Protein backbone atom coordinates (compact mmCIF):
# COMPACT_ATOMS: atom_id res chain seq x y z
CA UNK A 1 0.00 0.00 0.00
CA UNK A 2 1.60 3.28 -1.11
CA UNK A 3 1.55 6.66 0.53
CA UNK A 4 -1.38 8.96 -0.24
CA UNK A 5 -1.07 11.21 -3.28
CA UNK A 6 0.01 14.79 -2.57
CA UNK A 7 -2.28 17.42 -4.00
CA UNK A 8 -0.69 20.82 -4.50
CA UNK A 9 -3.76 23.01 -4.27
CA UNK A 10 -3.15 26.59 -3.20
CA UNK A 11 -3.75 26.97 0.54
CA UNK A 12 -4.22 30.71 0.03
CA UNK A 13 -7.62 30.33 -1.57
CA UNK A 14 -9.66 30.78 1.58
CA UNK A 15 -13.11 29.31 1.84
CA UNK A 16 -15.95 31.52 2.99
CA UNK A 17 -15.65 32.26 6.70
CA UNK A 18 -12.09 30.96 7.00
CA UNK A 19 -9.69 33.10 9.03
CA UNK A 20 -6.80 34.72 7.14
CA UNK A 21 -4.14 33.36 9.54
CA UNK A 22 -5.86 30.08 10.37
CA UNK A 23 -3.24 27.50 11.33
CA UNK A 24 -2.24 24.99 8.69
CA UNK A 25 -2.43 21.49 10.14
CA UNK A 26 0.77 20.11 8.65
CA UNK A 27 0.13 16.45 9.50
CA UNK A 28 -3.30 16.29 7.89
CA UNK A 29 -2.93 18.92 5.15
CA UNK A 30 0.49 17.62 4.09
CA UNK A 31 1.99 14.53 5.77
CA UNK A 32 2.90 13.47 9.36
CA UNK A 33 6.43 12.32 8.52
CA UNK A 34 8.60 15.21 7.29
CA UNK A 35 11.89 13.65 6.22
CA UNK A 36 12.49 14.05 2.47
CA UNK A 37 14.36 17.20 1.42
CA UNK A 38 13.69 16.66 -2.30
CA UNK A 39 12.62 13.91 -4.69
CA UNK A 40 16.12 12.38 -4.66
CA UNK A 41 15.93 11.67 -0.92
CA UNK A 42 14.15 8.64 0.52
CA UNK A 43 11.08 7.65 -1.41
CA UNK A 44 10.94 11.17 -2.91
CA UNK A 45 7.41 12.01 -1.83
CA UNK A 46 6.07 14.66 0.53
CA UNK A 47 9.26 16.64 0.15
CA UNK A 48 10.21 19.93 1.75
CA UNK A 49 10.19 21.53 -1.70
CA UNK A 50 6.59 20.38 -2.23
CA UNK A 51 5.70 21.72 1.22
CA UNK A 52 7.30 25.09 0.47
CA UNK A 53 5.52 25.28 -2.91
CA UNK A 54 2.18 24.37 -1.38
CA UNK A 55 2.20 26.60 1.70
CA UNK A 56 4.88 29.28 1.37
CA UNK A 57 4.91 30.68 -2.17
CA UNK A 58 3.86 34.12 -0.94
CA UNK A 59 7.06 34.21 1.14
CA UNK A 60 9.01 34.56 -2.10
CA UNK A 61 7.61 38.08 -2.49
CA UNK A 62 9.56 40.85 -0.74
CA UNK A 63 6.27 42.66 -0.02
CA UNK A 64 5.10 39.73 2.11
CA UNK A 65 8.05 40.13 4.49
CA UNK A 66 7.41 43.89 4.75
CA UNK A 67 3.67 43.57 5.41
CA UNK A 68 3.21 43.75 9.19
CA UNK A 69 -0.04 41.76 9.01
CA UNK A 70 1.14 38.85 6.90
CA UNK A 71 1.89 35.67 8.80
CA UNK A 72 1.72 31.90 8.35
CA UNK A 73 0.88 29.63 11.27
CA UNK A 74 1.84 25.95 11.06
CA UNK A 75 0.37 23.47 13.53
CA UNK A 76 2.61 20.43 13.95
CA UNK A 77 0.43 18.60 16.49
CA UNK A 78 -0.09 15.59 14.19
CA UNK A 79 3.50 15.50 12.88
CA UNK A 80 5.54 12.63 14.30
CA UNK A 81 8.96 13.31 12.75
CA UNK A 82 10.97 16.11 11.15
CA UNK A 83 14.45 15.64 9.69
CA UNK A 84 17.16 18.30 9.59
CA UNK A 85 17.39 18.23 5.77
CA UNK A 86 13.61 18.66 5.51
CA UNK A 87 13.62 21.63 7.92
CA UNK A 88 16.56 23.19 6.11
CA UNK A 89 14.89 22.99 2.70
CA UNK A 90 11.44 24.03 3.92
CA UNK A 91 12.42 26.94 6.15
CA UNK A 92 16.13 27.90 6.01
CA UNK A 93 15.67 28.45 2.26
CA UNK A 94 14.16 31.86 3.12
CA UNK A 95 17.16 32.84 5.25
CA UNK A 96 19.57 32.54 2.29
CA UNK A 97 21.11 35.95 1.49
CA UNK A 98 20.89 35.01 -2.20
CA UNK A 99 17.13 35.54 -2.00
CA UNK A 100 17.83 39.13 -0.96
CA UNK A 101 15.27 39.58 1.82
CA UNK A 102 17.94 40.05 4.52
CA UNK A 103 15.66 38.71 7.22
CA UNK A 104 17.06 37.52 10.51
CA UNK A 105 15.89 34.77 12.81
CA UNK A 106 13.71 37.11 14.88
CA UNK A 107 11.91 38.45 11.79
CA UNK A 108 11.44 34.93 10.39
CA UNK A 109 9.93 33.65 13.65
CA UNK A 110 7.61 36.67 13.86
CA UNK A 111 6.21 35.90 10.39
CA UNK A 112 6.27 32.08 10.42
CA UNK A 113 4.70 30.68 13.60
CA UNK A 114 4.91 27.13 14.89
CA UNK A 115 2.13 25.71 17.10
CA UNK A 116 1.69 22.29 18.65
CA UNK A 117 5.33 21.45 17.99
CA UNK A 118 7.59 19.50 20.33
CA UNK A 119 10.49 21.40 21.83
CA UNK A 120 12.91 19.02 20.08
CA UNK A 121 11.37 19.65 16.64
CA UNK A 122 11.25 23.40 17.23
CA UNK A 123 14.92 23.47 18.25
CA UNK A 124 15.80 21.42 15.17
CA UNK A 125 14.08 24.00 12.93
CA UNK A 126 15.72 26.92 14.75
CA UNK A 127 19.13 25.27 14.43
CA UNK A 128 18.60 24.90 10.68
CA UNK A 129 17.57 28.56 10.44
CA UNK A 130 20.70 29.59 12.34
CA UNK A 131 22.97 27.38 10.24
CA UNK A 132 21.61 28.74 6.96
CA UNK A 133 20.43 27.16 3.75
CA UNK A 134 22.50 24.22 2.47
CA UNK A 135 20.44 23.21 -0.55
CA UNK A 136 21.01 23.52 -4.25
CA UNK A 137 19.05 26.47 -5.64
CA UNK A 138 19.55 25.15 -9.17
CA UNK A 139 17.73 21.91 -8.41
CA UNK A 140 14.07 21.99 -9.37
CA UNK A 141 11.47 19.49 -8.34
**Is 35 part of any domain?**
yes
Domain count, the chain: 1
The parts of the chain modelled with pLDDT lower than 50 are 1, 4-19, 140-141
**Is 118 part of any domain?**
yes
**Is 69 part of any domain?**
yes
Domain holding 32, by residue range, is: 24-131
Residue 120 CA to chain centroid, in angstroms? 17
**Is 13 part of any domain?**
no
Per-residue confidence (pLDDT) for residue 14, from 0 to 100: 40
Per-residue confidence (pLDDT) for residue 20, from 0 to 100: 61
**Is 12 part of any domain?**
no
Per-residue confidence (pLDDT) for residue 101, from 0 to 100: 79
Amino acid sequence: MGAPKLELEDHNSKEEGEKENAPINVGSQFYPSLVNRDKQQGEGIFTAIQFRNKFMLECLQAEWWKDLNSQIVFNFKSVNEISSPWANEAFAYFMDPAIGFNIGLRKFLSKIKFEGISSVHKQLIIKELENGYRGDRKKLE
